[in-house]
Amino acid sequence: MPSRQQATPILEKQRAKAKPPALFNVVLLNDDYTPMEFVILILQQFFALNLEAATRVMLAVHTEGRGVCGTYPRDLAASKVNRVKEFARQHQHPLQCVMEENGT
Ligand code: TYC
pLDDT value of position 57:
98
Residue 31 scores a pLDDT above 60: yes
Residue 97, ligand 1, Cβ within 6 A: no
Taking Cα atoms as reference points, which of 66, 65, 77 lies closest to residue 102?
A: 77
Looking at residue 42, what DSSP letter applies?
H
Kind and range of the H or E element at 63? helix 51-64
For the stretch 39-64, pLDDT in tens is: 999 999 999 999 999 999 999 999 99
To test the ligand 1 pocket, which listed residue (26, 34, 81) has its Cβ within 8 A of the most ligand atoms? 34
Residues 6+ away with beta carbon under 8 Å from 37: none
Please state, in angstroms and rounded to a whole number, the distance separating the CA atoms of residues 66 and 104: 19
| Cβ(36) – ligand 1 distance below 6 Å | yes
Tell whether ligand 1 has an atom less than 6 A from the beta carbon of residue 37.
no
What pLDDT is recorded for position 63? 98
Ligand 1 binding pocket includes 55 (Cβ within 6 Å): no
